[in-house]
Amino acid sequence: MAGRAMRYLGVGAALGGALVPGAAMAVVPVGADSKAQVYRPIQFAVLLELDFGSIIAGSSGGTVILDPTSSSRDCGTMVCTGSFSWSRLAISGSDATVAISYAPIFYLTGPGAPIGAELTYAGGSGSQIEMTGGSAEIQFGAILHVNPDQVPGAYSGEFAVDVNYQ
């Protein structure tokens, strides 16, 4: 029996020692920092709408390029007339870094087949800019792909731009 008593005693001693607080188990208050950054909502204002102008396409179609960095319009083999403009947006909010993203393809619809267009921005989709003084302007161009034998008429469409704080 002595052997059995030793076993029980050994287990009891181990548990008893675990229940007695010692210096290593003392509670020490720990401080942790916390912080938050609050931003104003980002707002948009359209300063200029994207306008390719008037295009004389012919039977082969072609491309019209509105370059947002060079302020130029290139009509390739087609003839372009009239005024044109890039899309210019004013954004406002808090002084912060924002990311500009967009779907690269959009369509203009009208009396004929839809005309595909590629939105262009100097930094590309996903680029970041700084809003200083709570505002910034961003300018977009596009490449319009006029179909061969495009039906004459007025065509229009929309593109979406997302601006998010980083």
The tens-digit pLDDT sequence of the chain (166 residues) is 443 333 333 344 444 444 555 556 677 888 899 999 999 999 999 999 999 999 999 899 999 999 998 889 999 999 999 999 999 999 999 999 999 999 999 999 999 999 999 999 999 999 999 999 999 999 999 999 999 999 999 999 999 999 999 9
Determine the pLDDT at residue 29: 83
Residue 15 placed within a domain: no
SS (H, E, C) the chain: CHHHHHHHHHHHHHHHHHHCCCHHHCCCCCCCCCCCCCCCCCEEEEEECCECCEEECCCCCEEEEEECCCCEEECCCCEEECCCECEEEEEECCCEEEEEEECCEEEEECCCCCEEEEEEECCCCCEEEEEECCEEEEEEEEEEEECCCCCCCCCECCCCEEEEEC
Residue 20 placed within a domain: no
Residue 88 placed within a domain: yes
Residue 5 placed within a domain: no
CATH number at residue 113: 2.60.40.1090
Residue range(s) defining the domain that contains residue 121:
43-165
Residue 30 placed within a domain: no
Question: What's the number of domains the chain is made of?
Answer: 1
Determine the pLDDT at residue 2: 40
Residue 27 placed within a domain: no
